[in-house]
Amino acid sequence: MKISDEVRLSPDVITREMGDETILLDLASGMYFGLDPVGARFLALVEQGKSPLQARDSLLELYKIDPAVLDQDLEALLENLSLNGIVKAKL
């Protein structure tokens, strides 16, 4: 999955903040995942209706990070979440 893809959180997933980590629980499979603060902020922005590219731009304003590194990390995160049914492509 690419950063330019439009995505949405699966309706079977609930999120909870626990300290500085966000936990994602897929009610359909029973699997859960933990996100660090950057990944959690990215997903929260997507949940609020921002596209992954808009969320990425917001993260670049918040954190001092190389844009190419952030793009790679976010694409890897999206791919992992997609493979595990946490996010789905918007149709």
pLDDT digits (tens, 9 = 90+) for 21-73: 899 999 999 989 999 999 999 999 999 999 999 999 999 999 999 999 999 99
* Cβ neighbours for 90, distance < 8 A, ≥ 6 positions apart: 6, 7, 8
Q: What is the CATH number of the domain that holds 40?
A: 3.90.930
Report the predicted TM-score, pTM, of the whole model to 2 decimal places. Answer: 0.88
Structural domain harbouring 24: 7-86
pLDDT attached to residue 89: 87
pLDDT attached to residue 90: 82
In a domain, 47, yes or no: yes
Number of domains comprising the chain: 1
Is the pLDDT at 86 greater than 80? The verdict is yes
Interatomic CA distance for residues 8 and 5, integer angstroms: 10
Residue 18: pLDDT band with limits 50, 70, 90: confident
User: Six-digit token pair at 30?
Assistant: 């029973």
pLDDT digits (tens, 9 = 90+) for 5-15: 999 999 999 99
